[in-house]
Amino acid sequence: MQSEIAPTISAELRQRFASASRVVVLTGAGVSAESGVPTFRGGGNTSVWKGMPFDVISSGQMLERDLPAVWEWFDYRRELMQSVKPNPAHVAIANWQRRFPELTVVTQNIDGLHQKAGSRGVIELHGNIWRARCVTCEMTIDLTEHRRNACVGCGDNLRPDVVLFGEMLPPGAYERAATAASTCELCFVVGTSALVYPAANIPAIAKMGSGYVVEINPEKTPLSSFCDEVLSGKAGDILPVLGDDV
């Protein structure tokens, strides 16, 4: 059943969606927020954890200075996410795997909700809060299945397998996303203003390669004027309708 607030989908997008083979979907915090995931980002000097701003407790410097404090913060965040479930936007994107021969899902989110919805091969630009990684040998463990102890490979400490402020992206993640964007026919930018680099390059790379760039967001963003089409509204309302409608 179509949403009563379904956006107007252009004939151009209908045709492209129906015939596309290579599609890239870039998602940001707005998609997860629709599932109830807190963004944790405060304005100005907002203290988010024991008097420390978000970009301090979630920084590479804090990791080196006080690993237990960083773990306490991320344990708290995981506890808040225990009951969070994928929303219709996550499910619609996962269903697109059966529709498009080549679907690349790229996310700035660390909550794993795309995978819970059934998406495969998700490129996680900022890591995953449900994984831990050894600080020395970089062996990873799934925190949904194992307790957080010392690394079983080398015995050294584990850290959250997420990209903290001041750190580089996981090796190869951006490169794989950029390669997919360079040859895609459709690029959906969902729930993100795409202002954080290098993720912000993805829509530009898609457009340079003749991809049709579509933004889905409740509000206009700095990216809106760059896109070929803008669908205003919640991703959970729009994406299921888009798949059914075209």
Q: What pLDDT score was predicted for residue 44?
A: 47
Q: Are strands 158-162 and 186-190 parallel, antiparallel or unpaired?
A: unpaired
Q: Is the dihedral of CA 217, 93, 125, 54 positive or negative?
A: positive
Q: What is the pLDDT averaged over residues 207-219? A: 95
Q: Is the pLDDT score of 43 beyond 50?
A: no
All structural domains of the chain? 11-37+86-126+169-245 (3.40.50.1220)
**Distance separating alpha carbons of residues 156 and 138, to the nearest angstrom:** 10
Active site residue 90: no
pLDDT of residue 245: 55
What does pLDDT average to over the chain? Answer: 91
Dump pLDDT digits (tens) for 158-197.
999 999 999 999 999 999 999 999 999 999 999 998 778 8
Span 9-22, average pLDDT = 94
What CA dihedral angle connects 121, 124, 127 and 133, to 10 degrees? 30
Number of C-beta neighbours around residue 32 at 10 A: 28
The pLDDT tens digits for 123-169 are 999 999 999 999 999 999 999 998 888 998 899 999 999 999 999 99
Tell me how far apart the alpha carbons of residues 205 and 134 are, in angstroms, rounded to a whole number.
33
